[in-house]
């Protein structure tokens, strides 16, 4: 997926902090790495199955979008649903008016 403006700004902030020498190493990098790996594994654990009916037109549109992003369409759909459930993806004004 392409980075959005917020992600680009965060990357620039990290680069600026690095270049300014403001970043400090962690005390135990291996333990920190392991903790982050476990958190990521728990976050993205797929332990439930969902069957959903879509129109073939909608499915084709989703497949085309995923192809353009270079990811499997089921992965893209799961990502969109996850972001929506976490409150990081909200409908536009047009979609909420019905």
Q: In this structure, what CATH number is given to the domain that contains residue 66?
A: 1.10.1220
- When divided into structural domains, the chain yields a total of 1
Burial class (CB in 10 A: 0-12, 13-18, 19+), 73: middle
**Predicted pLDDT of residue 94:** 65
Domain membership of residue 20 (yes or no) is no
Domain membership of residue 65 (yes or no) is yes
**Predicted pLDDT of residue 39:** 81
The answer to whether residues 26 and 32 touch, using CB atoms and an 8 Å cutoff, is: yes
Q: Supply angle C-alpha 43, 47, 51, rounded to 5.
A: 115
Domain membership of residue 83 (yes or no) is yes
From first to last of its 98 residues, what are the pLDDT tens digits of the chain? 577 788 889 999 999 999 999 988 889 999 999 988 888 877 777 788 899 999 999 999 999 999 998 989 998 998 888 888 888 887 776 665 55
Domain membership of residue 58 as a residue range: 51-88
Backbone Cα Rg of the chain: 19
Domain membership of residue 27 (yes or no) is no
Q: Measuring CA to CA, how many Å separate 44 from each of 65, 75, 83, 89?
A: 22, 11, 12, 17
**Predicted pLDDT of residue 31:** 92
Domain membership of residue 35 (yes or no) is no
Domain membership of residue 75 (yes or no) is yes
């Amino acid at each position: 997926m392409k980075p959005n403006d917020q992600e680009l700004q965060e990357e620039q902030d990290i680069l600026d902090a690095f270049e300014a020498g403001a970043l400090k190493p962690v005390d135990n990098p291996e333990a920190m790495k392991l903790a982050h790996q476990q958190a990521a594994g728990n976050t993205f654990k797929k332990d439930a199955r969902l069957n959903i009916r879509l129109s073939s037109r909608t499915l084709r549109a989703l497949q085309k979008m995923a192809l353009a992003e270079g990811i499997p369409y089921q992965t893209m759909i799961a990502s969109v649903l996850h972001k929506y459930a976490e409150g990081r993806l909200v409908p536009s004004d047009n979609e909420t008016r019905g």
